[in-house]
Structure 1
């Protein structure tokens, strides 16, 4: 492709930006909707199904390879977007996705050790953390901090990538939850990147929303059309969300759109609200396990979705409730961010996390009482 042809394509893209966003959503939705039945057929023919155990939220063996469809659909779209040469960072994302997809796929097939999974996550994270596009050198005045050492910037971005990959993986416990929360978060990023003139990242965000929306149809299904995203899917989505989060933090500080409601100094606070459900749920279970003297990685039924299920909510109601919670937190932050100073915004975010922590503690007690009452009543 010569320079003249590339300029013509880019000009066409700029003048039809909104149509491209809609087209990319439809493309990833359509590809995923087409691919999942193929993945289901292979999984069923080869008997590649998730076994049922005491902690399973399903009663029948279900394929766990939704991530295969995710990977193919997103890679195809990213490859097309790379031809527009909007940014070189898409190559870094493709490399990181491929590594983490293989790690997740191996775990879905034969169960990987925690060491192998963590090594794969670190390797994938390096492609993003050390990308110049995501270099974090300033907090823009958050808590009075401006310029930070490059090494500290690498530590912060690395922590965000690894923490978010694992936090998203942890909420993938019931039908629809990971997909619905992922859709909410990715659509918030679509809004942010569209408003700030970041076309590649807006299209990457809408791609993720398209994939997860198509997946919901099968994840909520019953019988032979049901599928889980598996580790190959949840790790992949967690990586994509961390990719979008790093760009959000590393964007130019004085974009006109960013000055309306979310000042650069407040980005970490805004990000804590955008990622509310995976961040809150992970913090909550780690705190509870440490209080009980257990390992932070020990399995239990203290996740937010377990609490809602114990209250009697169905998978669908629990998933939509947590997705709505994430959306309400983001909306509340945006509506108040123009009115409050940084200190009060920090207080607001801490309050939101604390109140939700106490609320789910109360829900946990109610669920235990209901379970005890039902046992007594059945005697």
Structure 2
């Protein structure tokens, strides 16, 4: 593409920005919707199905290669966006997604060790944390911290990427949950980047929403069209959300955000609310396991989706309920962000996490009582 053609495309993009956003959403939705049946056919022909065990949320073998459709769709869209030269950070994202996709695909096929998965996650994270456009060297007054050493910024970004990848992987336990929460978070980022004038990141966010929206149709299916996203899918989604989170943290303070009651010092607090469900669920299970004297990595049924399923909710109801919870947390924080000071917002976030922690503790007890009563009644 010569310079003249590129300028024409960029001018067309600027004049029809909203139309491009709608077009990209439609493209990713349609492409994913087209690719998943192809992936299903290959999976069944080669007998590549997710087995059933005592911790499975399904009772029959189901293909778990939705991530293949995710990878093709997202990388194709990112490649097209790169031709517009909106930013160079997309090259780093494509490389990171490719590394993590290979790690997830191997795990879906033959089960990888935790060490191999962690190595892959760190390798993928390196492509993002050293990207100049995602430079993080200032916390803008969060807990009294302003400028931070460059090495501290790298470690903070690396921790966010690896932690979010794993957190998102953990919530992919029932039909629809990972996709619905991913849509809520990606739409929130779409709005933030739209207001702040970050067109490339708007398109990345809406691409993820479109991909996950199409996937939901098949994930909720009860027939032959049912598919799981698998590790290859959940790891990619977690990585893209981590990428968007790093950009959110790295943005310079600008007027549009301030006019909405946003303060740069509250970025990490806002982030804790945007990413509420994966962060909360991971913290909750780790705390419970440690309280019970178990390893933080011990498998159990203490995830929030398990609590709702044990109460008798269907996968669809549980997933939409948790997605709504994440949306409510974002709404509560946003509605009070231009009223409360930094200290009070910090208290608010801690309070929100504590209240929901207590709520699910009560629901867990309620579910256990219901289960015992059912056993007694069956006798």
TM-score, normalised with respect to structure 2:
0.99
> In structure 1, what is the Cα distance between the partners aligned to 2:4 and 2:212?
37
Look up the match of 2:235: 235
Distance 1:135 1:330 in 2: 25
- 1:178-221 Cα offsets, whole Å, 9 max, x none, are 00000000000000000000000000000000000000000000
Q: What SS does the corresponding residue of 2:140 show, helix, strand or coil? A: strand
Q: For 1:362-373, what aligned pairs fall within 5 Å after superposition?
A: 362-373=362-373
Over 6 Å off, 4+ runs: none
Q: CA deviation at 1:256?
A: 2.5
Q: Residue 223 of structure 2 aligns with which residue? A: 223
Report the CA distance between 1:260 and its aligned residue. 1.6
Within a 5 Å distance, the mapping from 1:293-372 to structure 2 comes to: 293-372=293-372
Is residue 126 from structure 1 mapped to residue 126 from structure 2 by the alignment?
Answer: yes
Match of 1:171 in 2: 171
Map Cα deviations across residues 128-169 of structure 1 (whole Å, 9 max, x no partner).
Answer: 011111111000111121100001101110000000000000
**In 1, are the aligned partners of 2:281 and 2:303 still within 8 Å (CA)?**
yes
Runs of 5+ consecutive residues of structure 1 not aligned to the other structure: none
Corresponding residue for residue 263 of structure 1: 263
Q: Which residue of 1 aligns with 2:102?
A: 102
Give the alignment's TM-score, normalised by structure 1: 0.99
SS, match of residue 256 in structure 1: helix
How far 1:258 moved relative to its partner?
A: 4.1
Deviations 1:44-89 (A, max 9, x none): 0000000000000000000000000000001110011001100000
Which secondary structure does the structure 2 equivalent of 1:223 belong to? coil
Do structure 1's residue 277 and structure 2's residue 287 form an aligned pair? no
Cα separation, 2, equivalents of 1:361 and 1:261:
33
The alpha carbon displacement at 1:223 in A equals 1.8
Per-residue CA deviation, residues 21-60 of structure 1 (Å, 9 max, x unaligned), is 0000000000000000000000000000000000000000
Tell me if structure 2 keeps the 8 A contact 1:196–1:258: no
Aligned equivalents of 2:258, 2:38: Cα separation in 1: 43
Consecutive unaligned residues in structure 2, runs of 5 or more: none
Change (3 A) 1:259 1:267: farther
Deviates more, 1:1-10 or 1:117-126: 1-10
Q: Which residue of 1 aligns with 2:92?
A: 92
Pairwise CA RMSD: 0.7
What does residue 192 of structure 1 align with? 192
**3-state SS, counterpart of residue 318 of structure 2:** helix
- Contact preservation (8 Å) 1:196, 1:257: yes
Tell me the distance in 2 between the aligned counterparts of 1:89 and 1:356: 36
Shift of 1:358: 0.3
- Would the aligned equivalents of 1:62 and 1:227 in 2 still touch at CA under 8 Å? yes
1:237-262 C-alpha deviation (Å, 9 max, x unpaired): 00000000000000011243344222
Pair 1:182 & 2:182 matched: yes
Alignment of structure 1 residues 54-65 onto 2, 5 Å: 54-65=54-65
Whole-angstrom CA distance in 1 between matches of 2:238 and 2:319: 17
Aligned residues: 379
State whether residues 164 and 239 of structure 1, in contact with CA within 8 Å, keep that contact through their aligned partners in structure 2.
Answer: yes
| Pair 1:83 & 2:56 matched | no
1:176–1:316: 8 Å Cα contact kept in structure 2?
yes
User: Is the CA contact 2:257–2:263 (under 8 Å) kept in the aligned structure 1?
Assistant: no
